[in-house]
Amino acid sequence: MSNYLGIEFGSTRIKAVVIDDNFTQRSTGDYVWKSDFTDGVWTYSLDQAFEGLRKALSDTDTADVAAMGISAMMHGYLAFDTEWNLLVPFRTWQNTMTAQAASDLTGLLDFNIPQRWSIAHLYQAILNNEEHISRIAHITTLAGYVHYKLTGVNALGVGDASGMFPIDSNTLDYDEGMIAKFDNLIADRNLGWKIRDILPKVLPAGEDAGSLTAEGAALLGGKLPAGIPFAPAEGDAGTGMTATNAVSAGTGNVSAGTSIFSMVVLDKPLSKVYEEIDMVTTPSGKAVAMVHCNNCTNDMNAWVSILRQTVELFGGSVDTGDLYTKLYQKSMEGAADCGGVCTVNYMAGEGVTHLDSGRPFVIRTPDSDFSLANFLRSQLYSTMATLKIGMDILAKEGVEITSLTGHGGLFKTPVVGQRYMAAACKAPVTVMETAGEGGPYGMALLAAYRANKEGALEEFLANKVFKDARSSTFAPVAEDVEGFDRYIEKFSAALDAERVAAVKF
C-alpha cells in the first residue's frame, strides 16, 4: 500500500499528515510556531520553518510515501537574489502596509488586488524605493520557497499563484494583459527585470512538480529518500477547498482558525470589481470568489486564557480541550443577538472593512444582559462577523451556494461553529470528520491525485475520496439568522469606534 504526505505551514502550526490509498489519515506530526512583529513587520523565521518541518516529520511515520506536497499560508512577500538569498525578512499576509500599492494596482488592472497579495508588496517596495528592488531575481510564497528548497523547481500550484498575481482561468497562467500593464507601469524604474521573469511557473493540480532531491532529503534530516514525486505547492485556500470537496461550481468552504476565509467556486463572473472580494482559483484553475479576514479566533483564545487563569486562581485546573468545549457550548445559551453585547475582535487590520490596524474591544448597551453566555456568543459571532459582511456582497450578486463546508479549529466543537456560520451565511454548513485538520489533509489528497491522476480533480474528489465520507450538516435556524442580522448592525456601527481606537489607543 502506498502512502501520501501533505505538509502545511499554518499560522500557528507546521503539520505533516500521512494518508493511505483509502485516503485515511495514518500518521501526523506537528510543530508549534508563531509570527513575530519585528520593526513593524509581521514575519516568520525561514530557519525555524525548516526546523519545524523536521520536527513534524520526526513524529510522523513516513514509510512508503509515493508522493508528497507542500502547502502554506498564501500571499505575502519573499524576495530573493539570483542565488536565492533572502533580500528582506519575510512579509506575511498579516501585514497591512501596502495600501497605496493595492489601490493603484486595483485601478490599473480593474481587478481587486488586496494588500496582502505578493504583487502589492512588490509594488509598494518599488514605490518606497527600497534598496533591494533592483536585485530581485525571484519572488514566491512560503510554500513555493520550501518546495524549491526540496525539489529545485521554482513553481507554484495555480491556486497559490493566484494569490500572487491574477490568473487567466482559460490559460491557467498569469493574465498576459495584466502582465503587460504592470511592466509598463514600472518601465521607467529601469529595474533590470520584468514581472514574469521573477514570478514562479504556474502548475495545475496533478502536474509533475519535480521530486525530492538529495539536497532536499538532507534538509529533511534524512527522514525521506530522494526521488519522491511532488505535487504542485499550494496555498492554504486551495488545500482547504480540496479537503472539503469544494472545488466544483456552486460549492464553497470556510476555513476558520487564526484567520478566517470563505471560498465560493463561481459559475459566472461577478458583475463588477469589489475591494472586499478576492478573485483566486481552485487548485485546478476554476474561478473562486474569496472573502479573506485577518482576524478570527485570536481574541477568543485570549479570553479563554483569562478564564483559565481565573480557574487557577482558585486552585483549579482544566484540560484545554474541555475548556474550549464547555465555553463554546455555554455560548448557545445566549440570546440570538447576544443580548446587547458586541465584540470587535480585531487584533490586526482588516481589508474587508478597510482598517490598517486593529484594537480588540467589547462594548455593550447599558441595558444589555451581560451574562457569560451572551459574552461568549458575542465573541464567537465576532469571529465570523467580518466574513459575513463579504458574504452578503456575494448574496446580492446572486451567487448561489449549493453546499458550504467548514473546517479548522472553530468547527472542532460539534454544532456550535456550524450553527453560527449557517446563520451568518444563510446557508447549510457541513463539517466532515477531517474538519480540524483541513489544510495538511488537503495537501496529502493533492499528492495522491498527483500519483494517481485520473480525470479532473473534481471527479477524483467526488467519486473516490468523499464518496462515502462521514459528515454532519446544520441548516440555518430562523431565530439565529435574525439575531445575527441584528448583531451585525451593531458590529458595523462599532467599527467607527474601532477606527478611532486603532489610531488613538
Q: Which residues contact 459 (CB under 8 A, 6 or more apart)?
A: none
What is the pLDDT at residue 196?
97
d(CA 198, CA 318): 51
d(CA 356, CA 347): 11
Take residue 459 and report the three cell numbers written for it.
471527479
Helix (H) / strand (E) element for 309: namely helix 298-313
How many CB atoms within 10 Å of residue 269?
A: 11
Half-sphere exposure of 332 (CA within 13 A, CB side): 14
By C-alpha distance, which of 150, 170, 173 is closest to 161? 173
By C-alpha distance, which of 26, 61, 450, 453 is closest to 234? 450
What is residue 339's three-state secondary structure?
A: helix
What is the pLDDT at residue 434?
54
- Cα torsion 5, 411, 297, 16 to 10°: value is -10
Largest CA distance in the chain: 67
Query: How do residues 255-313 score in pLDDT, each as one tens digit?
Result: 888 889 899 999 888 999 998 999 999 999 999 999 989 899 999 999 999 999 999 99
Could you tell me the domains of the chain?
3-243 (3.30.420.40)
Q: Which residues contact 68 (CB under 8 A, 6 or more apart)?
A: 4, 5, 6, 7, 212, 224, 228, 229, 230, 231, 447
Contacts 24+ apart (CB under 8 A), 43-48: 43/89, 43/90, 43/91, 43/92, 44/90, 44/92, 44/142, 46/86, 46/90, 46/145
Take residue 313 and report the three cell numbers written for it.
486562581
Residue 118 burial (CB < 10 Å; 0-12/13-18/19+)? buried
d(CA 298, CA 309): 17
Query: How do residues 70-88 score in pLDDT, each as one tens digit?
Result: 999 999 999 999 999 999 9
User: What are the E-state strand segments in 384-488?
Assistant: 403-407, 429-432, 471-474
- Stretches where the chain sits below pLDDT 70 are 434-437
Amino acid at 258: T
What is the pLDDT at residue 94?
86
- Cα torsion 461, 464, 467, 468 to 10°: value is -120
What is the pLDDT at residue 356?
84
By C-alpha distance, which of 62, 94, 61 is closest to 77? 94
For 237, phi then psi, to 5°, come to: -65, -45
What is the pLDDT at residue 437?
58
Q: Which residues contact 216 (CB under 8 A, 6 or more apart)?
A: 149, 150, 151, 152, 226
Task: Name the β-bridge partners of 173.
Answer: 168
Q: How far apart are the first and last CA of the chain?
A: 58
How many CB atoms within 10 Å of residue 70?
A: 32
Residues 439-456: b if buried by 16+ CB within 10 A, e if exposed: bbbbbbbbbbbbbeeeeb
Question: pTM score, two decimals?
Answer: 0.84
What is the pLDDT at residue 287?
93
What is the pLDDT at residue 439?
83
Q: Which residues contact 446 (CB under 8 A, 6 or more apart)?
A: 6, 69, 157, 205, 231, 232, 234, 238, 239, 242, 283
Q: Which residues contact 299 (CB under 8 A, 6 or more apart)?
A: 343, 345, 346, 347, 360, 379, 382
Please identify which residue in the block is written with the cell numbers 482559483.
281
d(CA 320, CA 298): 15
